């Protein structure tokens, strides 16, 4: 897990004073290229590491070797715990390591470092989007979560006029490169998609955050509710076993096993808001996938196939097919 390596790299530098990417790679059993990326990630996050070029060079902490974490500044401690916190949710070993690191910090740094640990959580199951750039406002919102300060947002929403809202930031969620802010408002808990935040300005007003809040648990409740709204129609399909992981990746949470294989094909259930949405996702698979039920999805697939046949089947090679009524008005796929 990457956060484990980042913590280990930092501790190794404190112990030895200076390490090369090759040293780190050998110690952690990773490639030299990965070691270089990890060291660069520490620097980008605000931990004061810097490279020394030339023979005998390597990476060091600004100010020389340190024997314990009491040499970290408040900002450095926050940066470290922001990096390691999200991964700790799925790693008992990392949680134990963070507790030990937390006890090693000066008391004045401890509260902010602990807040940073639970400022962000990671949900790696995607909702159809990936490889999106990290919004620049994430850093500002993370700082507001750690400092417990209210934020004034201008939020665009979907198909809505922008609105201004004063929120209590509770934490951020990285859902496979799509970022969300969980926050308290005058109407209760709300979820904001960060790439729809048009402007964010921290205030000096203290923010309320439930003392018993566990960010990962709160996000799970939000995600479950969204899943219920997004998966109103389920279909049972048969697909060659070797393609089952690809279909699962396509549908994410909305794909599950539905019993024993049939004639060497995996039996899966997939979901989307409507039968037409399911058919749109499956049409490109052609005859590789057989839809067992419901009839509504089978009907939509037949409709899509008929429209494609009408448009392309009789077109001479190299000729541009005439626009059909469905093409002019949109085929609904």
Distance CA 115, CA 109 (A): 10
Tell me if residue 237 falls in helix, strand or coil: strand
Mean pLDDT lowest for which of 48-62, 102-116, 129-143? 102-116
Report the percentage of the chain scoring pLDDT > 70: 66
Alpha-carbon radius of gyration of the chain: 26
Mean pLDDT (the chain) is: 77
Question: How long, in residues, is the chain?
Answer: 333
Closest by Cα among 143, 169, 167, 165 to 156:
165
pTM over 0.85, yes/no? no
Q: Give the pLDDT band of residue 114 (cuts 50, 70, 90).
A: low
Q: What is the pLDDT of residues 261-317, one digit of tens each?
A: 998 899 999 988 889 989 999 999 999 999 999 999 999 999 999 998 888 876 665
Q: Reduce the DSSP state of residue 104 to 3 states and report it.
A: helix
Residue ranges of the domains in the chain? 2-117, 122-213, 231-329
* pLDDT at 166 > cutoff 80: yes
* Burial per residue of 41-79, b for 16 or more beta-carbon CB atoms within 10 angstroms, e otherwise: bbeebbbebeeeeeeeebbbbeeeebeebeebebebbbb
β-pair type (149-155, 163-175): antiparallel
pLDDT above 90 (res 107): no
- pLDDT, mean of residues 176-184: 86
173 pairs with which residues across the strands? 121, 180
Q: How confident is the model at residue 26 (pLDDT cuts 50, 70, 90)?
A: confident
As a whole number, mean pLDDT of residues 170-194 equals 88
Q: Which pLDDT value is given to residue 80?
A: 63
Strands 49-52 and 149-155: unpaired
2-117 is classed CATH 1.10.10.10: yes
Fold of the domain built from segment(s) 122-213: SH3 type barrels. (2.30.30)
How many angstroms separate the CA atoms of 233 and 333, rounded?
16
| Lowest-confidence pick of 72-81, 122-131, 323-332 | 323-332
149-155 and 178-185 strand pairing = unpaired
Q: What is the pLDDT of residues 130-144, one digit of tens each?
A: 556 778 898 899 888
For residue 65, pLDDT over 50 is answered with no
Query: Distance (Å, rounded) from C-alpha 117 to C-alpha 97?
Result: 12
pLDDT tier at 88 (50, 70, 90 boundaries)? low
Rounded to a whole number of angstroms, the distance between the first and last alpha carbons of the chain is 40
Percent of the chain with pLDDT over 90: 27
Q: Strand (E) positions, 102-193?
A: 120-123, 149-155, 163-175, 178-185, 188-193
Give yes or no for residue 331 having a pLDDT over 50.
Answer: no
User: Is pLDDT of 333 > 60?
Assistant: no
Select from 215, 226, 217 the least CA-distant residue to 120.
215
Q: What's the rounded Cα separation, in Å, for the pair 75 and 80? A: 9
């Amino acid at each position: 897990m990457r956060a484990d390596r980042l913590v280990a790299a930092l501790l190794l530098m404190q112990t030895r004073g200076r390490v090369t990417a090759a040293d780190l790679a050998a110690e952690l059993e990773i490639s030299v290229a990965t070691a270089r990326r990890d060291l660069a990630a520490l620097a980008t996050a605000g931990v004061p590491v810097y490279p020394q070029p030339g023979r005998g060079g390597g990476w060091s902490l600004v100010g020389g070797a340190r024997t314990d974490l009491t040499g970290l500044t408040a900002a450095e401690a926050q940066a470290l715990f922001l990096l390691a916190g999200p991964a700790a949710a799925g790693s008992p070993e990392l949680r134990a390591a963070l507790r030990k690191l937390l006890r090693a910090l000066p008391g004045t740094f401890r509260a902010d470092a602990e807040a940073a640990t639970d400022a962000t959580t990671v949900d790696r199951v995607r909702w159809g989007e990936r490889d999106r750039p990290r919004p620049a406002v994430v850093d500002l919102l993370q700082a507001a979560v750690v400092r417990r300060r209210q934020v004034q947002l201008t939020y665009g929403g979907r198909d809505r006029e922008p609105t201004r809202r004063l929120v209590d930031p509770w934490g951020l969620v990285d859902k496979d490169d799509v970022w969300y802010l969980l926050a308290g408002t005058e109407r209760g808990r709300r979820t904001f998609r960060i790439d729809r935040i048009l402007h964010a300005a921290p205030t000096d007003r203290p923010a309320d955050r439930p003392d018993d809040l566990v960010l990962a648990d709160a996000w799970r409740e939000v995600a479950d509710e969204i899943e219920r709204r997004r998966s109103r129609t389920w279909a049972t399909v048969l697909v060659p076993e070797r393609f089952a992981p690809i279909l699962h990746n396509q549908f994410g949470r909305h794909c599950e096993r539905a019993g024993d294989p049939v004639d060497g094909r995996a039996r899966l259930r997939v979901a989307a808001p409507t039968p037409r949405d399911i058919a749109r996702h499956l049409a490109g698979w052609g005859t590789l996938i057989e839809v067992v039920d419901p009839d509504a999805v089978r009907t939509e697939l037949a409709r899509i196939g008929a429209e494609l046949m009408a448009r392309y089947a009789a077109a001479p090679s190299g000729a541009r097919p005439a626009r059909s009524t469905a093409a002019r008005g949109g085929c609904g796929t």
